[in-house]
Structure 1
């Protein structure tokens, strides 16, 4: 009988010879096995209903369905999640020792809030979180979701550097870095580095802030992004509002070393402009009026309307417009009008206020973008395509308002033409339209509210909510007013 060692040697040599002959087939078999394993694990996540009896935890995302997960998979793949669930298990064990309300607290014990996972520094969307968790299961990156990665400007945008595409990649990067998933972090850092030169300048602070939070795992991205921002035309006020103080200081120091700003002001506005901005931050329009009386600056030189639209409440913007001391179509040093800034803010009330004061929706930026295009490139495809019967989000309303304002060809006195229609026919049409308005307020409350803001009324004459409609002098609909009286025309001019 042969010694055991010789048998082992023979088997080893046999395996070696087999590998040399069938090595490619064996490698393919291993690859197929890994793919099958990946697909099987991914199925446990992608089909939550079929595997609901196995899921032992849920991640709660505001405004979205809970994500059912399996702690064993997440803990095996992520050191961060392993520590998190270990702490929660230890805390739960301490609570159970106290005895009571065990079943009552079980559901809450298994639920993890998104805030507990990722904090408040970066708002990670539902789709981005799904992609990261699916990667933990399968080890593969799935197709990027169109609803979250594409903007609405389908004709003029390549969807490489627009806000939805950039924001999605930044969110995935932050979540992957937080979960300590090095492969996924490296992958999305490379993706952002590849498109960084194509990213619109206004989206750079978003990437820079995320890269700064992930600084240890995103050194290359942080350095490259800082380099681009330093040489960009982004003003210091915008950077100061969007970035932490230590990053702002790095940008200031770099610009000083390159001679891009003067040592006296370091790129910041002068003290008189800063006082106006601080007054706006305090919602004190009366103080703004007093500062203007000093004669040291004016609203246009301080770009006060731009600042209010970008950083202040819509009420402050309206009050500032009512002063009638600023050019509503004034451009800032980057070539943006106030309406362009409002299109970035995506607040319907502010856009309506500017349009009613004469803002021109047809004005273009230095890179040939109109306000409506700016809004479209900031809006996710999923936020624009909504189901019938659901309330329209602000993003969609802003686009529709700007789109209609651009297409509209206003004629002087057009709103009062209907008053020249005579008799009972006009009465019937008015009642019909008022009924439609009342129905619209029920079915489309957001759109109706914006429309009433445009008209500056609380309701229609038939369905008035307040007393503003009673200020109008009565109109005899049985008489044909061939000569329009001034009091009838005034509210529409």
Structure 2
């Protein structure tokens, strides 16, 4: 998929200045050639030689990067930044830095309300050095995975703009705030409704400098199909209450307009009983939900849009428990016309999407504006993440997995259940099957940890007893496949069924991974138990398996260490949608 960043031009609200993303530096020669302009151009060019350069630098600012697993540092020159920004002048003014020692700053500490990535920070700091906004970040950072998108108002493009807007506000660069605000205002009519709340939240944080953008967002939210519960969850309390109050006033007017009746349910707050169900879900209490349904039989989970609510605002455990009740229609639509799967696509969590598909959610369902879940997911996913090489043993990106699961779901048919073996199968056939499944799933956990976790969760593997291929330590909590004679019991049959379903789910939703594992398991004759073998053959089989385990374990623990560091250094929540009120706004 080709990567091409759209050319963007920013003008401030007074049209008194123009800043362009200039892909060709020679275009600068077309500027007026009077002496003052030439001198300014020369000054800008000279200062640009110091930007992102270690020469004479006396500090760094680090931020998480889209193209690197660890934060990247930008060398800074305090005197330049202090002369251009009141924020940096105050930050550096009272420092007692030892001579020759550089100060290291983290962007997450300088701006705590919004997650700002390296690529956005680089553009804003570049402006402080040169007075120009350089080229858009390359590599597909501002481009989504939808080939039909113009990449002007998709989520990756909006993410970059609001991060740059927020950073400009934090650094108190008023002219840059005006420029980014103006561009966002120009594209607001193209922005997806789900992204308006995110822009609204950032504009509110930026304060008076973004009043025009804030007013525009408020107007659009008031007239949107975004439900009042979502507004309550996402926006600050004072803003949410104001919008909901204004909507309640408008609701009485809508009653006299038949063509607007579709908005009445959207504008309304849920009744008391439905709100109690939502609060029970917030408290992770599915049993209380069951009790509330018995207390008021006239209100169903579908009436409360409980699945929509859980997928949007709760964790996967609560959502799966709600699904397991079997009392809700997984394809039910809310007042906005969204199915539960559409909400899961907005949430951008692959385990939610996989769980819903496994329960019969239809990937072909479209929203009221004609979008399927796969289209929603692609518009939220950077092409950089979509095309990123998938290395064995490395954690896959959530957005990429969401797209992959939905793509595979659209081209496959649910044929689950083939993995369960008949109880008539006995003896060594059962042992061989178990050995194959344990080996395959064990390799999947090492090579594709995130995908394996999702597939195993769908198959409820966690609730079965682990079977050991080699139990040298005689751990009593682990069942040993090398028992002689091999006994068939319910625990082993349950484990075999769960592992079979894991393999089936993986082949359905993660074909890329399944293909790699198929090739690896072709070496099954080397490590598989075939009923009878000499002591030497057993040792050779065990040695070969241990070699494979060592290779995979190394990849697994390297990835685990990287993932642990990432979770410590980033405040990005598992919910990549919009976050909750008062939480740090995290995207990507």
CA contact (8 A) 1:383 1:395 kept: yes
State the alpha-carbon separation in 2 of the partners of residues 444 and 341 from structure 1: 26
- 1:215: how far off? 2.8
CA contact (8 A) 2:435 2:469 kept: no
Question: Cα gap change, 1:134/1:463 in structure 2, threshold over 3 Å: closer, same or farther?
Answer: farther
Residue number among 117, 121, 135 corresponding to 1:143 in the alignment: 135
Q: Secondary structure at the match of 1:58?
A: strand
State the alpha-carbon separation in 2 of the partners of residues 300 and 356 from structure 1: 19
**What corresponds to 1:447 in structure 2?**
451
- 1:439: how far off? 3.2
**Unaligned residue ranges in structure 1 (runs of 5+):** 1-23, 94-101, 476-484
- 1:394: how far off? 1.3
**What corresponds to 1:386 in structure 2?**
388
Question: Cα gap change, 1:320/1:426 in structure 2, threshold over 3 Å: closer, same or farther?
Answer: closer
- 1:220: how far off? 1.4
State the alpha-carbon separation in 2 of the partners of residues 400 and 116 from structure 1: 35
Question: Cα gap change, 1:473/1:449 in structure 2, threshold over 3 Å: closer, same or farther?
Answer: closer
- Provide, for residues 349-369 of structure 1, a one-character-per-residue CA deviation record: whole Å limited to 9, x for no partner: 222221221111121111121
- 1:473: how far off? 6.0
Question: Cα gap change, 1:438/1:268 in structure 2, threshold over 3 Å: closer, same or farther?
Answer: same
Structure number with greater Rg is 1
Question: Cα gap change, 1:276/1:468 in structure 2, threshold over 3 Å: closer, same or farther?
Answer: farther
**What corresponds to 2:412 in structure 1?**
408
- 1:39: how far off? 2.5
CA contact (8 A) 2:266 2:336 kept: no
State the alpha-carbon separation in 2 of the partners of residues 234 and 273 from structure 1: 18
- TM-score normalised per structure 2: 0.67
**What corresponds to 1:283 in structure 2?**
284
**What corresponds to 1:211 in structure 2?**
203
Q: How many residues align?
A: 439
- 1:440: how far off? 3.3
- TM-score normalised per structure 1: 0.79
**What corresponds to 2:564 in structure 1?**
none
CA contact (8 A) 1:57 1:71 kept: yes
**What corresponds to 1:197 in structure 2?**
189
- 1:438: how far off? 3.3
Question: Cα gap change, 1:25/1:421 in structure 2, threshold over 3 Å: closer, same or farther?
Answer: closer
State the alpha-carbon separation in 1 of the partners of residues 490 and 144 from structure 2: 44
Residue number among 346, 360, 364 corresponding to 2:362 in the alignment: 360
**What corresponds to 1:339 in structure 2?**
341
1:279-358 equivalence runs, <5 A? 279-295=280-296, 296-358=298-360
CA contact (8 A) 1:347 1:394 kept: yes
**What corresponds to 2:90 in structure 1?**
83
State the alpha-carbon separation in 1 of the partners of residues 80 and 110 from structure 2: 16
- 1:492: how far off? 8.3
RMSD of the TM alignment (CA)? 3.7
State the alpha-carbon separation in 2 of the partners of residues 79 and 466 from structure 1: 63
- 1:202: how far off? 0.7
State the alpha-carbon separation in 1 of the partners of residues 33 and 230 from structure 2: 54
Question: Cα gap change, 1:26/1:380 in structure 2, threshold over 3 Å: closer, same or farther?
Answer: closer
Question: Cα gap change, 1:402/1:59 in structure 2, threshold over 3 Å: closer, same or farther?
Answer: same
Residue number among 105, 113, 131 corresponding to 2:106 in the alignment: 113
**What corresponds to 1:130 in structure 2?**
122
Question: Cα gap change, 1:456/1:412 in structure 2, threshold over 3 Å: closer, same or farther?
Answer: closer
- 1:329: how far off? 0.7
CA contact (8 A) 1:352 1:453 kept: no
CA contact (8 A) 1:280 1:288 kept: yes
**Unaligned residue ranges in structure 2 (runs of 5+):** 1-29, 65-69, 256-263, 471-476, 482-488, 506-588
State the alpha-carbon separation in 2 of the partners of residues 261 and 116 from structure 1: 46
State the alpha-carbon separation in 2 of the partners of residues 136 and 180 from structure 1: 11
